[in-house]
Amino acid sequence: MNDESNFLEGIQANPEDLFLRQVYADWLEERGDPRSEYLRIDGELQQLMGSLASSDSAKEEKIRNLRSRLKKLAKSLAAGWVAIFDALRPQHFRCRACRKVISGKETIDTNPYNYRKMKSTRYCRLCYEDAVRGLLSNRGYDSDSFSSNDQSYHGGARDDV
């Protein structure tokens, strides 16, 4: 097995390890491979996305520039190799309510108003819970009205009373 396949296996086994990607980028650069620039930009993009605040317009502009640069570089590289790193890149979304940037693992992609899946917008957990609480209070539901003595597990009247 060659060194490059060892690097790729290690990166796929631990996609959050940006240090290993940088070592791989250094290794590629020593060999004059243009893929090193792609890896460096991808690492910088991931670091910026992880530290992005809800109103950080300077970073947002830099992120847009990095993404466009990645797209340009991807056109000149092997599609299979680029696909490996595109699949490993963590997804980030803006909360529909508070506009905070959150990772795809932390998002809720269900609309609190109709409980249907959303394709393009997501909520953070706090905003989702606030929206559901607001809906319940607008409909006249009160948490005290759901005491365990009056309700079964499924929300109906108890059968053993």
Nearest Cα to Cα of residue 86 among 48, 53, 32, 41: 41
pLDDT tens for residues 4-22?
888 888 888 888 788 888 9
Under 8 Å CB-to-CB from 40, ≥6 apart: which residues? 22, 25
Under 8 Å CB-to-CB from 85, ≥6 apart: which residues? 38, 39, 42
Confidence of residue 26 (pLDDT cuts 50, 70, 90): very high
- Supply the pLDDT for residue 30: 93
- Supply the pLDDT for residue 29: 92
- Supply the pLDDT for residue 140: 61
- Supply the pLDDT for residue 142: 53
CATH architecture for the domain at 91-145: 2-Layer Sandwich (3.30)
Top-confidence residue, 60 or 21: 21
**Taking the CA of residue 129 as centre, how many other CA atoms within 13 Å lie in the half-sphere pointing to its CB?**
3
Distance, in Å, from the CA atom of 109 to the CA atom of 107, rounded to the nearest integer, reads: 6
pLDDT tens for residues 75-129?
998 988 888 888 887 777 777 777 777 777 777 777 777 777 776 678 777 887 8
Confidence of residue 160 (pLDDT cuts 50, 70, 90): very low
Confidence of residue 63 (pLDDT cuts 50, 70, 90): confident
Domain ranges within the chain, ordered by starting residue: 1-90, 91-145
pLDDT tens for residues 33-59?
989 999 999 888 888 876 665 556 677
